[in-house]
A and B are shown apart, each in its own frame.
Chain A
Amino acid sequence: MITLVRNHILGFLLLVLLQALVLDHLDLAHGWVVPYLYVLFIIALPFDTPPWATLVIGFVLGLTMDFFSSTPGMHAGACTLMAYARLFMLRILAPRDGYDIIKRPNVRDMGLTWFMTFAGVLILVHHLWLFFVEVYRFDDFLSTLLRALMSAVATLLLCLLAQALTSGGVRPR
């Protein structure tokens, strides 16, 4: 349990710093693609995380990103919404006999299709909220939508890559 908490705190710091110090500074396709890999933290929380904890962790993660990007409430809102959506997605995608709590929500344990559906929907919820709140208006709806979709694809690919790179590591019990 202590290892699990410690690993998650390290993962939290690693993802936030990676996002703030590296990914936020990439200028891909003239700002049309902005990957937000840090949301992988919410996706990869253990299956038996209590719902209230998921929501609080989501809010805190978003607020931390807000400090780095000077956008009060923007990431916090997107992450809270994403954490809430995660509760529903877990219910919808549940296997017939419930989740095996030894397993983790990643490609190796749950399969590519399951993970792509789960992560894809959550990333989409997060990005749509984030990008529309960022522009603060609906007049260039299509270009914002396109930016959100393209960025969501980039984030999903990065999540898959990050999992492929780390799944060989020690698995906390």
Chain B
Amino acid sequence: MRDLFRFLFRQRNNLLFLGLMALSLFLLVNGNMHQRAQAISSSNALVGQIYAWRQEVTEYADLRKVNRDLAVALARERDRRFRSLDGTDSVQTARDTAGVARYTFVTAQVINSTTHKERNYITLGSGALAGIRPDMGVIGMGGVVGIVRDVSPRFALVTSVLSDEYRISVQLKRTGHFGLLSWDTDDPRTASMTDVANHVPVAPGDTVVTRGNDGIFPPGITVGTVTEVNEDPGSNFHDIRLKLSEDLTRTAYVHVVVDLFKAERDTLEAKVGRP
């Protein structure tokens, strides 16, 4: 017995190393698998506050760009309202077929973001108190930004589209064909659209929008424009490269999509056991 204690005492540093390493790996695996149960993130109150201070300092540098984006967004909104009078418009996307409001948007400020890591996250300066919940879509002034992963009372952590963590369901606006958005280019300006079959007539310049079937994004939100279509002879699918319409390196304000029918839809789908 004493030999055992002596052995443990002699190996204490190696054992400590193994223990800490095991703890790190546990956090690593756990944090990636159970996305909800993640305490170590920048939606933590102290870290969120520090990022909020940083944002207060740096936001001045981006004011010009923010102003221009807001002006553009305002103009687009006005345009929609006028067009919706003759019923041909895309504002229908925000309403269901009976004309009842389907989505509302919570405006939030981006207080921290990365764009050059393998998986990029964005921290928002609003959280559960503003009505933000996990799994809500996030759109910028230009287009899709990401999906809320975790919230605290005052902050929210968003998984950016610049991540391999999930695939957003998108469609070609012109032809209506579906596909998935995946970020495999390692470049914050571009992404790929996968799972579009070879027979689909897709050409550079086509607009790609959200499909809106997942209850996260409304249909018809701009994602980007096709820049390149490559044919891989061994594959049944196009290899489509997109230019993202949102410049994620400069996103300053975003809208979080609140789907007012989500609870109803989830209850219905849970009945038949759909995921």
Contact = CB atoms under 8 A, between A and B. Distances in A.
B118 interface: yes
Contacts of B32: 72
Contacts of A76: 20, 23-24, 27
A63 B40 contact: yes
B130 interface: no
B251 to A, nearest CB: 13
B65 interface: no
Interface string B88-123: 000000000000000000000000001111110101
Given A20-B50, A68-B47, A70-B157, A31 B116 contact: yes
A21 B26 CA distance: 27
A67 B23 contact: no
Contacts of A134: 117-119
A74 B28 contact: yes
Interface stretch (A40-48, A52-60, A103-111): A52-60
8 residue pairs, one from A and one from B, having the closest CB atoms: A31-B116, A73-B27, A72-B31, A73-B28, A77-B24, A70-B41, A72-B40, A72-B27
B16 interface: yes
Interface string A110-154: 000000000000000000000001111000000000000000000
A34 B42 contact: no
Interface of B: 12-13, 16-17, 20-21, 23-32, 38-44, 46-47, 50-51, 54, 114-119, 121, 123, 157, 186-188, 249
Contact of B118 (A17, A27, A80, A135): A135
16 contacts: A20-B51, A30-B187, A34-B116, A56-B20, A68-B47, A70-B121, A70-B123, A71-B119, A72-B27, A72-B32, A72-B38, A72-B39, A83-B17, A133-B28, A134-B117, A135-B118
A7 interface: no
A53 to B, nearest CB: 10
A157 interface: no
A44 to B, nearest CB: 20
Contacts of B38: 70, 72
A63 B186 CA distance: 26
Nearest to A131: B118
B200 to A, nearest CB: 28
Q: Which of B29, B38, B47 has the most CB of A within 10 A?
A: B47
B50 A55 contact: no
A87 B12 CA distance: 13
Given A56-B20, A69-B114, A76-B27, 16 more contacts: A20-B50, A31-B186, A67-B42, A67-B44, A69-B117, A69-B121, A70-B121, A72-B32, A72-B40, A73-B23, A73-B24, A73-B26, A80-B20, A80-B24, A87-B13, A134-B118
A56 B46 CA distance: 22
Contacts of B50: 17, 20-21, 68
Contacts of A68: 42, 47, 50
